[in-house]
Structure 1
């Protein structure tokens, strides 16, 4: 049996038995999109397939640096960090390309924890789409830098003078991808093996930066593939003593890293976005979808620009938007409508960076679009020309900091309707925590600027 054939608990038991495995890997994604997991003995795995298993709920109560939130109610010292139930998802079975023969299964939080589980949030948004008669199709695009450094050497260097795997600006370089063809081939093969296939892979403009476009698929499968792509790109790089980063902006000298999402709605096998007779070949459904995304973007930004560093990228002139805007084939707007055939008509959600949790970023983008369809929100006139140089209405301005974005999310009635009070309260608190942690730090810029002179 092949991993892609696994659909049920019985299938999962069968493939494990056929391979003679003693242990498999299981994991669940936390609020930041980090996969937390373990090796699990096959006996425990078999039992958990039916009844679930316990997983310490601290995974939902700490940040990406394992520091405990002090401002959330779901879990904490006041609850003594009990186990939460997670369910194993047989249909997520994957070959682990870096551990030949072994298998990986994703999990979701259940019961009370399901209210704040990132994958659960997306699943409920997609269920809403289905109840409205829509299927969501998505393709993720990621930009990421790769260094000829290790996890130890970057720290020893203080994150300065890092050596990229290739020098200079050289987008779409056939020279670079030919010289480093073994790395490209290993990454392409890994993604095919792990069911997160790449449609296109090329150098971006910057030293050691690549862009990968993952193949279009259904919404939940696309987010699973995106989350695993980020993890296993890092794994593959570190296994050859390199380091890959999906930070939104690691250096002021180089462009930031986008995590764009191309999406469309379908009904009964036909595009709900395409209308040959409509303006820009956009259907009314697509116009309202884009209208909802534009209207709610300032309120939901914390879900797609989720870290302090995310806001380093959202400045004019860096291929990232600063206002909620849309245009047709316009890469200076936050929403780029791409008109084409019935198959290819879509909207690209360009405000998201590579550091976002793909489950939450997609939930925000799709949820806002569905809200627009329900409320028949008109997107207004499309932007033509350079959106960076235009004045935009005050209500479309994006939050400038994570703290501001967290406050906008917390106060958003639409967010509470789409994602539930428990999630909005918990997630906005985690983003406030993240900025408070940042404010404790004394940056190198401050030391250089103030220590001697002021």
Structure 2
């Protein structure tokens, strides 16, 4: 360990690092950080002992009566921040959170996922995820209101697609942050974009999602400032009425002894029994799971018919109207795609919860039934019901009430995170339901 720390301190000096950011997330997955001057003589004790901070000011963390918590940098998450100026070169370490005694803190979302993956490793498995976080690049109209940056659509090219230069610059910067970029393109909605990166171990991927969102916002903001423009980025699930929402489809698979256990080339669909059972578990727990993968009031304005987002609890082969899609199965690349999550979710909680649901399916051999091979959006509610296909929650209220009654998912979150998460969702819904919106005024003022 001492040798590794010495190598890291030397690397930071070679990168001319002036400041160190110690980063973590709150219960919602919102990044927080504490910045320190990079002084080689102080880095060794930082890596060994960590840094105390006040956890009572972070939502979902400690009470004021036991507020002292400890940030422990994960030395493997070192990353210079490419968008910071050279004269104040800054690096970032993602931290685990401990109690002041050095024990893992039960309210830390990252530690929750680490523990779940450690338990999974004892069964011989590793869990890989490849997310696809979509986002909108925004401009402003003459009154300063946000509007999409262009009117392009899926896979359009310039000049209609005004995100080409942004995505190129973003891709280059993300590669400097060690992302393995697979592709980038304009999405369906006006001003909507996607930059996909390769799947990896679930913890590495969860860290990457946080970094991805933070980097994209910062880089676009820097480009806009440099060019005296007003562009910005939002990961809001449904930023505009009448256009497609932004999702974060999660491709996932299990490996054992280096082999993809979802793959079975001799099976009818190229999918093993383990893969089918994993799907069965996700389908069984999909309703309460949605509270975690789609955690905001706005999330449920994306999960409506007509905009390609899933609405019904089902799975299909290559079927994009289903909640779970099985892309063409090709050996080690065999995977399932869970399509409801959106970028507002806390990836540490969402990945933990999806894993718990899938593993419950494997443990109890939950059959998912036959895949759906028709367009679910074209069926009436009566036809869907007759086929045994149930809807996802229509509101955050429905979702969190289902979550609080899910023994499996509440156990997966643990008592502290589970209860704090529910408290936050109760408060969010209560705040939302007392608001009066322009739509209501237009519709009802004359009654």
User: Normalized against structure 1, the TM-score is what?
Assistant: 0.88
Corresponding residue to 2:264 among 252, 275, 295: 275
Matched, 1:105 2:93: yes
Cα distance between partner residues in 2 of 1:410 and 1:321: 23
Q: Distance in 2 between matches of 1:325 and 1:180?
A: 34
Distance of 2:90 and 2:126 partners within structure 1: 32
Residue pair 1:129, 1:370 contacting (<8 A) in 2 also: no
**Residue 176 of structure 1, CA deviation:** 4.5
Check conservation: 2:163, 2:186, Cα contact below 8 A. no
Question: In the alignment, which residue of structure 1 is the partner of 2:32?
Answer: 36
Give the superposition deviation at 1:80: 4.9
SS of residue matched to 1:285: helix
8 Å CA contact retained: 1:138, 1:217: yes
1:132 correspondence with 2:85: no
User: What is the DSSP-based 3-state SS (H/G/I as helix, E as strand, rest coil) of the residue aligned with 1:279?
Assistant: coil
Q: Give the gaps of 5 or more residues in structure 1.
A: 1-5, 63-73
- Counterpart contact for 1:146–1:243, Cα < 8 Å: yes
Matches within 5 A, 1:36-115: 36-43=32-39, 45-61=43-59, 75-76=62-63, 79-80=64-65, 82-99=67-84, 100=86, 101-111=89-99, 114-115=105-106
Residue 198 (1) aligns with residue 181 (2): yes
For 1:391, the equivalent position in structure 2 comes to: 384
Tell me the CA shift for residue 264 of structure 1.
0.8
Of the three residues 437, 443, 446, the one matched with 2:440 is: 446
Cα shift at 1:414: 0.7
Number of the residue aligned with 1:285:
274
Q: Give the superposition deviation at 1:45.
A: 4.5
- Displacement of 1:178 in angstroms is 7.5
Q: Which runs of 4+ in 1 moved over 6 A?
A: none
C-alpha separation in 1, matches of 2:256 and 2:297: 38
Rounded to whole Å, the distance in 2 between the matches of 1:177 and 1:263 is: 33
- Please report the RMSD computed on the Cα atoms of aligned residues, expressed in angstroms: 2.4
DSSP-derived class of the 2:148 partner: coil
* Offset of residue 113 of structure 1: 7.2
CA contact (8 A) 1:89 1:105 kept: yes
Q: Does 1:413 align with 2:397?
A: no
1:71 is aligned to: none
CA displacement at 1:362 relative to structure 2: 1.7
Instruction: Point out where structure 2 has 5 or more consecutive residues left out of the alignment.
Output: 225-229
- Over residues 145-198 of structure 1, what are the superposed CA-to-partner deviations in whole Å (9 max), with x where a residue is unaligned? 10124xxx89x73x4xx343222x421012248765432221111110012232
Structure 1 residues 180 and 308, CA, compared in 2 at 3 Å: closer, same or farther? Answer: closer
Distance 1:178 1:312 in 2: 25
- After superposition, what is the alpha-carbon deviation per residue over 1:188-210, rounded to whole angstroms, capped at 9, x for unaligned? 11110012232111001221111
Matched, 1:243 2:239: no
SS at match of 2:331: coil
Secondary structure of the equivalent of 2:116? Answer: helix
Match of 2:110 in 1: 119
Q: Supply the distance in 2 between the matched residues of 1:141 and 1:257 (Cα, whole angstroms).
A: 10
State the TM-score, normalizing by the size of structure 2.
Answer: 0.89
Q: How many residues are aligned here?
A: 427
Provide the residue aligned with 1:219 in structure 2.
202
| Alpha-carbon distance in 2 for matches of 1:423, 1:7 | 36
